[in-house]
Amino acid sequence: MGGEAVESVLSSGSLSEGEVSLDEGFASQVPTHFRDGLGRNGSETAKKDDVFGLGDFEEDGVFSSALESEVYLRRRSNAYREVLGSYDDSRVHIESLGRAKSKILSYYPGAWIEEVGGTKSFDYNVPQTTSLILIGPRGAGKSSLVNRISKLLDDDKFAPERAQVSYNPSVGDGTYFLQEYMIPRGSTSFCLYDTRSLSADPSEDNKIIKRWMTKGVRHGELVIRESDDSSLRKRMRCKARWSGHPFSVIRRVNFVIFVVNSLTVLKSMDNNHDGQSQYMQLIANTYNCPYLSFKDDKPAVVVTHGDLLSITERARVRIYLGELFGIHPAKQIFDIPDNADLLTQFTIVDMLRYSLEHADRNLPRKTWVLKKVWRVPVSACFYVALIVGIAIIAAFIKRAHPSIRGSQHVHKSKIHIDWPKIRHLWLE
């Protein structure tokens, strides 16, 4: 559901009649407070196109003209139709899924480096293992996502789940230790890091995120916040005493996957007319943390638990998050429900391909590459200094040479041999 084949699906009209009618019947499913605001600009087109209930996202006076409002609403409508088209499972076949999986299984760090700006693949610091980190609020489904990815790429539906999943998020400790999962098992190509859930304080989360993104992550590391009470700290440190990993490798984070619960998002959308609930503020502030982005590349977004919603509700959630995060809802937001059908498997592979490609694209360059432009001037200065030094030494030697020769001549002239006295030596 990353939207790679959406345009061909829509243009060919391959969507069934029932699927097309989803768009027509969607307005009846939108809450009343959304439907009442659809025509606030007095445009019939606005009433028709803004069927996904996002009219409250804008305030009076946002647009300088009716034309700008019309263009904006049409763009929303096109995005909604593109998202709806991504749920057409007729475009996914066993063969295409197999080819997509083989590309992920054959991946190695740096495989998708783009040689731009005059650089080559050996100009980058390529890690031994590409690290993808999962970040999201409590109950988002990060651990469940790890298990689905692992089972898909291990091709073993009956394998035990690797990540501990909380059945009731309100009970239990959740994930307090960073957990590294090699994908697939036994491989060193890339890994997923399951992390502790976000708190209610974005500033506190940003401190932890900054540490992960600047200093790296390590398997088994205990994540404790300043707001944690003493009993929780004591309980977690007791666990850490028996499950510590002091010799674990510290890995640099190469890309971020942001995970949210579609049920919670939809509930916040319906219960808050201005879209500014505490949950929305939390995920928006955290997602926009500058440490999560790699230059212009923002994290990929995964929405979970969509199997409990209708297709139109899932589309609304993706459109809403696209507006909230400023990313394309059909190309950077991936709907991965709790099932194992072909479309879900294809979406998982599509999401991994997107994440790994962007991880390789943003690998840091080696230090010597950044200093390449200074090589010629520095070396030229060195050679000039060397030549000047040799010339100076030669001048000193030349100046000192005549005196040395003169002293040797004087010394030789003082030696006198009385040849007649030693004549008997010759006769012998």
**pLDDT on residue 51:** 47
Beta strands in 88-147, from DSSP E residues, in sequence order: 130-135
Q: Among all chains, which residue has been given the structure tokens 């829509």? A: 10
For residues 194 and 163, the answer to whether their CB atoms sit within 8 Å is yes
List, in order, residues 6 or more apart from 64 with CB less than 8 Å away.
none
Per-residue CA distances from 241 to 14, 223, 246 (Å): 58, 14, 11
**pLDDT on residue 256:** 98
- pLDDT at 183 exceeding the cut of 80: yes
Phi, psi of 406 (to 5 degrees): -60, -45
**Residue, of 258 and 406, whose pLDDT is higher:** 258
**pLDDT on residue 1:** 56
Convert the pLDDT of each residue in 201-214 to its tens digit: 888 999 999 999 99
Convert the pLDDT of each residue in 249-270 to its tens digit: 999 999 999 999 999 999 988 8
Convert the pLDDT of each residue in 383-393 to its tens digit: 677 888 888 88
Confidence of residue 243 (pLDDT cuts 50, 70, 90): low
**pLDDT on residue 242:** 60
Convert the pLDDT of each residue in 28-61 to its tens digit: 344 333 333 333 444 444 444 444 445 544 444 5
Per-residue CA distances from 381 to 295, 338, 370, 375, 387 (Å): 36, 65, 20, 10, 10
**pLDDT on residue 130:** 97
Does CATH number 1.10.569.10 belong to domain 92-369? no
Average pLDDT over residues 217-243: 84
Confidence of residue 410 (pLDDT cuts 50, 70, 90): very low
**Residue, of 32 and 189, whose pLDDT is higher:** 189
Interatomic CA distance for residues 92 and 330, integer angstroms: 16
Interatomic CA distance for residues 127 and 251, integer angstroms: 8
Residue 318 — left, alpha, or beta (φ > 0 → left; ψ -120 to 50 → alpha)? alpha
DSSP state of 192: E
**pLDDT on residue 17:** 38
Task: Give the rounded percent of residues in the chain with a pLDDT score beyond 70.
Answer: 70
**How far does Cα 219 stand from its chain's mean position?**
18
For residues 143 and 166, the answer to whether their CB atoms sit within 8 Å is yes
Confidence of residue 231 (pLDDT cuts 50, 70, 90): confident
**pLDDT on residue 33:** 35
Average pLDDT over residues 73-86: 91
Concatenate the DSSP letters of all residues of 318-369 into one string.
HHHHHHHHTS-TTTSEEE--SS--HHHHHHHHHHHHHHHHHHHHTPPBPHHH
- pLDDT at 313 exceeding the cut of 90: yes
Q: Where are the domains of the chain?
A: 6-85, 92-369, 376-427
**pLDDT on residue 72:** 83
**Residue, of 118 and 348, whose pLDDT is higher:** 348
- pLDDT at 105 exceeding the cut of 50: yes
Confidence of residue 27 (pLDDT cuts 50, 70, 90): very low
- pLDDT at 334 exceeding the cut of 90: yes
Average pLDDT over residues 301-323: 95
Look up residue 69 and give its two tokens: 């409002």
**pLDDT on residue 381:** 63
- pLDDT at 311 exceeding the cut of 70: yes
Confidence of residue 91 (pLDDT cuts 50, 70, 90): confident
- pLDDT at 14 exceeding the cut of 60: no
Greatest Cα pair distance in the chain: 140
- pLDDT at 274 exceeding the cut of 80: no
- pLDDT at 21 exceeding the cut of 60: no
Interatomic CA distance for residues 294 and 223, integer angstroms: 23
Instruction: Sort strands 255-261 and 130-135 into parallel, antiparallel or unpaired.
Output: parallel
